[in-house]
Amino acid sequence: MLQKPRGTRDFLPDEMERRRQVEGQMRDSARKWGYREVSTPEFEELELFTIRSGEGIVQEMYVFEDKGGRKLALRPEITAPVLRMYVNEGRVLPKPLRWFYFADCFRYERPQKGRYRQFWQFGVELIGADTAMAEAETIMLGTDLLDKSGISFSTHVGHLGFMRKMLSGLDPGVQHKIRMHLDKKDFDALEAYLDDLKMPDLTGSLVNLVQCRTLEDAFAITGEMPDKERIIEIFSILDAAGVKYTLNAGIARGLDYYTGMVFECFAQNLGAENQVLGGGAYRLAHLFGGDDIPSSGFAIGFDRVMVALGDLPPQEEMTVRIVNTPQGRNWALETAKYFRESGIRAEMDLSSKSIGAQLSNAGKSADYAVIIGEREAIARVVMLKDLKSGVQQEMSLESAATEVFGSGAC
């Protein structure tokens, strides 16, 4: 028996309904902020991803060569494709561009809980706005989307200006090593590394920066910075908007990608793999032949959100099974159409069995049965049966639809 590929999943109807429910809540929220949906191909030119991340990323990707000899890759993320689309087709559009997307991505890595080889991202890109308000809006929208999903999470907001000031003048390789230790919060290894470099005083300053929780404390450690007023304005906007966050001036990852504000959100019940959102301000379009346009955005790990939600019950939706005899078939078809046009899920019984057998089968998955025989067809009425209580009564088609709607589940 053939199995699904490693790192992928099958979603049965109940799970798909749960996912579509959460996805729909995120879509609705993004639209209310003025963001519009875009879509890009599932595979792109390999160079789109290596030009930014280097050849090393190839080992983490699904790469192939097509019949024309072109090197292509299944997309491992969607920001680069969206910026490629902007360069190709969006440069003449009025700025700023507020775009969002929901799509699957692919990475060749070891599967584990919340991490798969095929996974889904809900993301936002705000292109063409270089203000504190634009960067703050990205954070406000990201937290709003997670709020709408229903998960419990914490938000950490920082700015790479702090870390750039602390590491200025150091060799890029040394900066990278320091950032790795800080990202893992391995302060002992950081201290040993800086002691070897004869820079023991830097250890204390970096650890204090990671641990401080006010802008005043952070600026006291770094001293004057070119971005100081911009940073103060971003956080004042977040405070005015009532965003709940923790300052993390020591965020060290993404220095090669982000340009200023950075933020991360963590679910409270996922263990080690608990980051569900990452984002910040960046400039990428120039790498793909476009202008050096300021942008900000984020991506939500949709699969981790679903894991954090646990056994979320699907939205209730009543199912009506149309049970009929051959003599009532035409009226049954008309009845089913009426229910569907009224927004009610209606299924025709396809078995051609007796009414009793059809009702027995309907009780396994439907909430109501609509029984139609020759007499109901002639009188143009239906027999509506509540399959949970067993109560049934004859009524008009319109009254039957109202009764199902009145059950509160449509």
Identify the weakest region by mean pLDDT among 1-5, 168-172, 347-351.
Answer: 168-172
pLDDT tens digits for range 197-218:
888 889 889 989 989 999 999 9
Does 173 have pLDDT greater than 60? yes
Q: Are residues 88 and 227 both part of a single domain?
A: yes
Tell whether 249 and 330 lie within a shared domain.
Answer: no
110 and 43 together in one domain: yes
**CATH code of 375's domain:** 3.40.50.800
* Pair 250, 363 in one domain: no
- The predicted-structure confidence for 39-98, as pLDDT tens digits, reads as follows 999 999 999 999 877 788 899 999 999 999 999 999 999 999 999 999 999 999 999 999
Which residues, 6 or more positions from 16, have their beta carbon under 8 angstroms from its beta carbon?
A: none
Domain span at residue 228? 13-309
How much is the mean pLDDT over the chain? 92
Cα 180 from Cα 190, distance rounded (Å): 9
CA proximity to 124, closest of 154, 102, 91: 102
- For range 178-191, the mean pLDDT: 86
Is the separation of the CB atoms in 240 and 132 below 8 Å? Answer: no
Residue at 300 is within a domain: yes
Same domain membership, residue 331 and residue 189: no
Q: Do 92 and 40 fall within a single domain?
A: yes
Judge whether 2 lies within some domain: no
Among 127-141, 144-158, 175-189, 226-240, whose mean pLDDT is lowest?
A: 175-189
Domain-embedded: residue 177? yes
Same domain, 25 and 162: yes
Please spell the DSSP secondary structure of 80-98, one letter per residue: HHHHHHIIIIITTSPSSEE
Domain boundary among 247, 274, 309: 309
Residues 45 and 161 in one domain: yes
Contact 373, 326 (CB under 8 A): no
Which of 281, 309, 337 is the last residue before a domain boundary? 309
Q: Is 80 inside a domain boundary?
A: yes
Q: Mind listing the pLDDT tens digit for each residue in 278-315?
A: 999 999 999 999 999 999 999 999 999 999 998 876 67
Residue 138 lies in a domain: yes
Q: Tens digit of pLDDT for each residue in 85-136?
A: 999 999 999 999 999 999 999 999 888 776 899 999 999 999 999 999 999 9
User: 234 and 361 share a domain?
Assistant: no
Whether residues 156 and 78 share a domain: the answer is yes
How many independent structural domains does the chain possess?
2
Among 291, 309, 327, identify where a domain stops: 309
Checking if the pLDDT of 397 tops 60, the result is: yes
Tell me how far the alpha carbon of residue 270 is from its chain's centroid: 16
Nearest Cα neighbor of 266 from 118, 155, 365 is: 155
Torsion of CA 115, 116, 120, 125, to 10 degrees: 60
The CATH number of residue 221's host domain is 3.30.930.10
**113 shares its domain with 209:** yes
φ, ψ dihedrals at 305, nearest 5°: -60, -45
The DSSP 8-state label assigned to residue 386 in this structure reads E
pLDDT of residue 410: 46
- Indicate if 78 and 170 belong to the same structural domain: yes
